[in-house]
Structures are given as structure tokens and as C-alpha cells.
């Protein structure tokens, strides 16, 4: 990769990190899309996306926790099986294009729900523990396989089912992403024993963008803004993933 290409890619990573972190996400699907546009190899994309996810999710978790939005009671049933399944998914290296299309379709579907649903911010009920455990296992496996943290699926689910308010969903998703990304990266490195050298430059851009985005998302943006940003994020990520195979 030339220095010019790396500069443009770092700028794209900054924008992705800002936008995703403002809604409690770390940006893996956006990072994957950006790196795919620069024709990077899948073997380099997966560990890089997971590493950037860990950094940005750490910042987001801290910001949303400090702002008082995190719920341990809601978080742990989704996470307890997601973490080991994310390791398994990270260890396994399956054809990337199949999962990119699958993830892209799910993201576009989720985006349409937010664009056309009323901007409500209420909790109607809590998920049963069994349901949360099963969903968490599936999201963890998908997160590891695709190099994402799973939050891009968890947040729309929490809001669509009215299991959490917007900022609580963002806070829970941030830690969910952090745990799954760390587990998935360990699984990937255990399998490949390789990490791309350009990852450090992209990490710096992600940290700066993630810090700014999580601050505005946790303290400045209201729930309507967060949901609209999430819809934009889902549309961009879904489109990019489907058409950058």
C-alpha cells in the first residue's frame, strides 16, 4: 500500500469510527467496507477490523458508562455465550464473500426498520434469559466469522423489540462489541499467527474518531438523532458490504 492510499484509508477509518461510535458501535462493518475498497486481502482485513473494534469499543464503553447508560442486567445474558462463540468464529476462516452478502442484507433490513418506525424510546419488556443466551451465541459466532463485534445486530434488535432505550442499547452494544472483538481476535491470531503492519496507523485514526464520536453520542445527541445516525450507518455498511465483494 502506497503512503497516499494509506492516508486516504486512515481518513475513511476516522469518519467510520466517529459515526459508528456515536451510536455505541465500533465500526467493524464500515472498516471492512473501507478496506475492501482499497483491495486489501481478507486475511489482513479481519484482524485489523477486530483490532480497531477493540480500541473504539473500549472508548465507547467508558463514555456511555460514565454517562450512566450501561445496564449489566441486560448485558450479561447476551454476552456469556457470545464470547466463546466469537472465539470459534474468529478461528474459522470461511469464504468471505458469502458472509459479506449475508451481513449486508441484514444491515439493510435493519436500516429500513429505523427509517420507517416511529422514533419511540421506551422499554416495553425485557428479554427472557433463554432468548438472550441463544441470541448472544448466534451473534458471537457471526461476529467472529465476519470480523465484526456483533453490536451492529444487537442494537437494532434491542430497540426493535423495545428491550432497551436508545442510549442503554448503545452502551450495552459497546461492551458486547468489545468482548466479542477481543475473543474473535484471539481466535483469529491463534489460527493465522499474522497481523498486518499498517494496522497501527489505522488504529490511531480510529482512536481519534472513536473518542469524538462516543463523546457526542453519549452526551450531546438525543435518541432521535442516534436512531437516524444508526439508520445511515446501517445503509452505508450494508451497501458497501454487498457491492465490495
Q: Where are the domains of the chain?
A: 3-243
Residues 74-116 pLDDT 10s: 999 999 999 999 999 888 876 767 767 876 776 787 677 666 6
48: closest CA among 70, 63, 68, 33?
33
Instruction: Report d(CA 196, CA 199) in Å as an integer.
Output: 6
Mean of the per-residue pLDDT values of the chain: 83
Tell me the mean pLDDT in the region 150-173.
85
Tell me the mean pLDDT in the region 53-64.
89
Position 223 confidence tier, pLDDT thresholds 50, 70, 90: low
3-class SS of residue 147? coil
Cα R_g (the chain), whole angstroms: 16
The DSSP call for residue 164 is S
Geometric angle at alpha carbon 143, from 139 and 146, rounded to 5°: 135
pTM of the model: 0.78
Note the pLDDT of residue 149. Answer: 84
Contact indicator for 215, 117 with CB cutoff of 8 Å: no
Q: For residue 36, what are the contacts with CB-CB under 8 A and spacing of at least 6?
A: 45, 100, 240, 241, 244, 245
The DSSP call for residue 112 is H
Cell of 221: 445527541
Question: 224: how many CB neighbours lie within 10 A of its CB?
Answer: 12
Note the pLDDT of residue 156. Answer: 80
Q: Which residue has the higher pLDDT, 93 or 61?
A: 61
The DSSP call for residue 163 is S
What is the share, in percent, of the chain residues with pLDDT greater than 90?
Answer: 30
Note the pLDDT of residue 114. Answer: 63
Amino acid at each position: 500500500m502506497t503512503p497516499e492510499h494509506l492516508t486516504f484509508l486512515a481518513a475513511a477509518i476516522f469518519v467510520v469510527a466517529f459515526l459508528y461510535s456515536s451510536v455505541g458501535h465500533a465500526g467493524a462493518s464500515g472498516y471492512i467496507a473501507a478496506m475492501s475498497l482499497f483491495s486489501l486481502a481478507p486475511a489482513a482485513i479481519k484482524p485489523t477490523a477486530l483490532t480497531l473494534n477493540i480500541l473504539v469499543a473500549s472508548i465507547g464503553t467508558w463514555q456511555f458508562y460514565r454517562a450512566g447508560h450501561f445496564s449489566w442486567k441486560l448485558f450479561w445474558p447476551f454476552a456469556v455465550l457470545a464470547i466463546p462463540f466469537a472465539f470459534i468464529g474468529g478461528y474459522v476462516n470461511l469464504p468471505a464473500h458469502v458472509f459479506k452478502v449475508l451481513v449486508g442484507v441484514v444491515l439493510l433490513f435493519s436500516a429500513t426498520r429505523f427509517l420507517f418506525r416511529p422514533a419511540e424510546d421506551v422499554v416495553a419488556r425485557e428479554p427472557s434469559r433463554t432468548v438472550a443466551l441463544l441470541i448472544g451465541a448466534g451473534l458471537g459466532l457471526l461476529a467472529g466469522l465476519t470480523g465484526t463485534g456483533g453490536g451492529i445486530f444487537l442494537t437494532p434488535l434491542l430497540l426493535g423489540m423495545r428491550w432497551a432505550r436508545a442510549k442503554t442499547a448503545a452502551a450495552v452494544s459497546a461492551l458486547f462489541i468489545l468482548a466479542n472483538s477481543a475473543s474473535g481476535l484471539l481466535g483469529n491470531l491463534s489460527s493465522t499467527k499474522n497481523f498486518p503492519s499498517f494496522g497501527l496507523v489505522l488504529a490511531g485514526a480510529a482512536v481519534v474518531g472513536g473518542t469524538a464520536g462516543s463523546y457526542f453520542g453519549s452526551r450531546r445527541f438525543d435518541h432521535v438523532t442516534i436512531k437516524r445516525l444508526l439508520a445511515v450507518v446501517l445503509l452505508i455498511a450494508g451497501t458497501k458490504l454487498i457491492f465490495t465483494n
